[in-house]
A and B are shown apart, each in its own frame.
Chain A
């Protein structure tokens, strides 16, 4: 790694004592010698293990659940179903007033994705819990499922989630989050070329070294201590308080040392049911995802579809950009309505374009709910935007890097979501890339600056 201190030296205070110094990490010796304690290093006498009975179907009505054989299985201590969960229908963003509550802790009457939790089995050993789970009998009636976002948005598509009533999240702005800036139609009318292209991604797993989980210990005074690898302590505690209808003062969360998150540990999934298990049995409970659960059950990065229509002039200026983004939330909201509107704010990318039209949709389908992941709302959008930029440059016969300089945002430029640009540095990054990659661009671009002179 090289630090290029010559850029922005005039606005930077170097020479501090501790900041800017490559101090060795205080936690590294513990990490590399195996002495760092993670949640799973907690082991309590009499600790129970929780395993989930999961839906084998993408979409089905539950006619009945028979847990009698599981109850009798050696080592099984307690079997939990929806009726045991005090506030079973929840949504995590309710804490910031983003509803409706649309997801069940344990399925009640219906499953909406393959892998959905239906029954929780608590047993003396992991094996007994697994065997007990296998003995739970659930009678399902199949329902038609929908996997494709475009299909899901068509009239007459199977309804994924009754709490929404339609297969998309309803914003205060309607069926999508909207950004409108300038006059996009006038921009297209003026353009020398128009290019409309569609981009697609598939779900991606966070793949942390440490799988999602928690260990809960009853403190003997009606309080429960939950050792967890959540990325958000109070967010998880407060949601657990709602789900279990238990005052927050009864909950004590300990964490903060996590073996990789990448956004995969901000859903509140394992803690509420494990604490409920500890409360109902009076015993410590461990609920840790297997690698398979981490891969296919925990929320992935959403699949997205992005349609970009651009109007571009022969001289390289983009004069209009229309983006329609679709985020595949899967069966439940989790963080997807947030990521979808974050996407609306991110387009049209780090470029100054006078006419912009953005619609981003959060779509429900019968698949594993997606949620936050490193860069969500942005990562796939950047893939689409930057491939589109390459195509546009080639369309008008211009060097792809020079084309970006022409459109790059600079300090003071108004963004489509009506915030003035501050602290821009795209141009300098591209200038440095031009140098290190030996990708020459015209001198006028190397002379540009993100500081807009006279602006």
Chain B
């Protein structure tokens, strides 16, 4: 009886969006009298940071710092339609809608600034710090604060914009299955290292090295929190979680976190995250949807690592000590 080590690899891709249902999201952007920007949506922040990312996307597009943007979301009396936060679609779909709305608002803002500076709007640029300046002559500038005041009180302009992003529904062809199920694809490759106790069947995850390609990382810290969390969830799916441990038998289902097992602090693997960025052609600033896929590659990588360690295949999830032990016994029985 011994502790045996093994490692396994898995590589995956993941589709963004739900094209098979039709996939719309809309956004509205307007400026306050003092040049802050309000983004109105009905998209939902699940804790992953949707509001923050929409603020950064709007800020980049308008040309102001992110803290000048306020997100008003998920009130159906004010927010325009969003299909919802699922299918790794939130950043991609809502982000595109916000860009379109912010571009329209930016254009009005530049037109008002052009009137104030007596130049052509096409000769203006933003400095990203809250000012609008003449290209090549930054000394000739006006603050966005003053532009907004002028728009509201002097020129009667609404610095606002409407954004719409729609992926029309794809209907699968009956006989061949030809369809366009999603837009861009994210990618990942995970290498997992495990120790398997061949006496108890317990699997201990030593290391997971995850390489993720997610399109443009719009906010790297938030990308990190999502990818680390996803990697943990993948391990949890592989080795622990189920509401029906003896599926298809319905007995022994957990009803709380004492019975429904997930890895605790003592079970955490050494986790490494590497991010590659191949901008997508259709995503906001090249973003893809990494939300779902980051929990997928660990599962088969761990299953393959268990085989590498002890030479048994567990082809049913989760890979519990009971299943490992039964497989080892069957193997020993020849």
> Using a CB–CB distance below 8 Å, which chain A residues touch chain B?
1-5, 7-8, 11-13, 16-27, 31, 58, 93, 96, 98, 114, 147-149, 172-174, 177-181, 197-205, 207, 230-235, 237, 251-263, 265-266, 291-292, 295-296, 300, 303, 328, 338, 341-342, 344-346, 349-350, 358, 365, 367-368, 372, 374-375, 378-380, 382-387, 389-391, 400-401, 404, 408-409, 416-419, 422-426, 428-430, 432-433, 436-437, 439, 450
CB atoms of A261 and B299 under 8 A apart? no
Is the Cβ of B15 less than 8 Å from the Cβ of A345?
A: yes
Residues of chain B touching chain A, judged by Cβ–Cβ distance below 8 Å, are: 7-15, 18, 20-22, 42-47, 49, 51-52, 55-57, 59-60, 63, 65-67, 73-77, 79, 81-86, 128, 169, 172, 174-182, 184-185, 187-191, 209, 211-213, 215-224, 227-228, 233, 237-238, 241-245, 247-250, 253-257, 260, 262, 272-281, 285-286, 288, 291-293, 295-297, 299-301, 303-304, 307, 313, 315-318
A-B contact pairs, 10 of them (CB 8 A): A3-B275, A25-B49, A179-B176, A202-B242, A202-B317, A233-B82, A234-B84, A255-B44, A372-B86, A430-B211
User: Which among A7, A202, A266 is the interface contact of B247 at CB below 8 angstroms?
Assistant: A202
Instruction: For A151, give the chain B residue with the smallest CB separation.
Output: B248
Please determine whether B11 and A207 come into contact, CB atoms closer than 8 angstroms.
no
- Candidates B184, B249, B276; contact of A7 at CB < 8 Å: B276
Q: How far is the CA of A253 from the CA of B76 in the complex (A)?
A: 5
10 interchain residue pairs of minimum CB distance: A256-B74, A232-B84, A179-B177, A386-B300, A345-B181, A17-B128, A437-B191, A425-B213, A22-B221, A202-B247
Write the nearest CB–CB distance from A453 to chain B, whole angstroms.
16
B315 contacts A2, C-beta separation under 8 Å: no
A147 x B248 contact (CB < 8 A):
yes
How far apart sit A199 and B47, CA to CA, in the bound complex (Å)?
33
Minimal beta-carbon separation of A322 from chain B (angstroms): 13
Contact A5 B277 (CB under 8 A): yes
Tell me the minimal C-beta distance from B104 to chain A in angstroms. Answer: 18
* Contact flag A424-B185 (CB < 8 Å), given A3-B277, A375-B292: yes
Number of inter-chain CB pairs below 8 Å: 418
Residues of A within 8 A of B60 (CB): 16-19
Tell me whether A422 and B85 are in contact (CB under 8 A): no
Q: Is the CB of A258 within 8 A of B13?
A: no
Asked if A149 and B248 make an inter-chain contact with CB atoms under 8 angstroms apart, the answer reads yes
For B230, give the chain A residue with the smallest CB separation: A374
Q: Considering the chains assembled together, what is the distance between the CA atoms of A24 and B256 in angstroms?
A: 33
Bound CA–CA A5/B244 (angstroms): 43
Q: Closest chain A residue to B304 by CB distance?
A: A390
Closest to B245 in A: A202
Min CB distance B126 to A, Å, is 9
Q: Are A233 and B74 in contact (CB under 8 A)?
A: yes
Q: In the assembled complex, which residues on chain B have CB atoms less than 8 Å from the CB atom of A252?
A: 75-77
Complex: chain A residue closest to B318, CB-CB: A202
Give the residue of A296, A342, A365, A372 whose beta carbon is less than 8 angstroms from that of B20. Answer: A342
Task: Report Cα–Cα, A345/B184, bound state, in Å.
Answer: 13
Contact between A18 and B56, CB atoms less than 8 A apart:
yes
Residue on B nearest A255 in the bound complex, by CB? B74
* CB-defined contacts of B76 to chain A, threshold 8 Å: 233-234, 237, 251-254
A426 and B275 in contact (CB under 8 A), knowing A259-B47, A390-B300? no
A303 lies within 8 A of B248 (CB): yes
B292 touches A374 (CB 8 A): yes
Q: A202-B245, A429-B212 are in contact. Are A181 and B176 (CB under 8 A)?
A: yes
- CB-nearest residue of chain B relative to A237? B76
Given contacts A1-B227, A12-B286, contact A429 B189 (CB under 8 A): yes
B285 lies within 8 A of A27 (CB): no
Partner of A433, one of B190, B238, B316, B317: B190
Known: A1-B273, A390-B9. 15 other contacts (CB 8 A): A18-B57, A178-B174, A178-B177, A198-B315, A207-B257, A257-B45, A257-B74, A342-B181, A382-B300, A417-B181, A422-B281, A428-B278, A430-B211, A432-B276, A436-B209
Contact across chains for B241 and A204 when beta carbons are under 8 A apart: yes
List chain A residues, Cβ under 8 A from B255: 291-292, 295-296
Known contacts being A27-B51, A386-B300, A433-B211, is A231 close to B86, with CB within 8 Å?
A: yes
**B74 — nearest CB in chain A belongs to which residue?**
A256
Complex: how many Å from CA A382 to CA B248? 21
Pair B9/A418 contact, Cβ less than 8 Å: no
B143: shortest Cβ distance to chain A, in Å? 16
Query: Across the interface, which residues of B come within 8 angstroms of A251, CB to CB?
Result: 76
Asked if B85 and A231 sit within 8 Å, CB to CB, the answer is yes
In the assembled complex, the Cα of A38 lies from the Cα of B291 at a distance in Å of 22
CA gap between A341 and B170 in the complex, in Å? 12
Which residues on B sit within 8 Å (CB–CB) of A387? 300, 303-304, 313, 315
A179 cross-chain contacts in B, Cβ below 8 A: 176-177
- Chain B positions within 8 Å of A425 at CB level: 187, 213, 276, 278
B256 touches A292 (CB 8 A): yes
B74 touches A254 (CB 8 A): yes
- Which of chain B's residues have a CB closer than 8 A to the CB of A27? 45, 49, 51-52
Complexed CA–CA distance, A408 and B242 (Å)? 32
Partner of B317, one of A201, A389, A390: A201
**A204→B278 CA distance, assembly (Å):** 32
Q: Are A4 and B45 in contact (CB under 8 A)?
A: no
Assembled-state Cα–Cα distance A207/B313 (Å):
28
For the complex, give the distance between the alpha carbons of A429 and B185 in Å.
13
The minimal Cβ–Cβ distance linking A424 to chain B, given in whole angstroms, is 7
Which of B12, B20, B84 touches A266 (beta carbons < 8 Å)?
Answer: B84
B98 to chain A, nearest CB (A): 12
Cβ of A258 and Cβ of B292 under 8 Å apart?
Answer: no
Q: Which of B86, B286, B301, B304 has the most CB of A within 10 A?
A: B86
Closest to B10 in A: A386
Q: What's the nearest-Cβ distance from chain B to residue A435, in Å? A: 9
Q: Is the CB of A416 within 8 A of B11?
A: no
**A201→B248 CA distance, assembly (Å):** 10
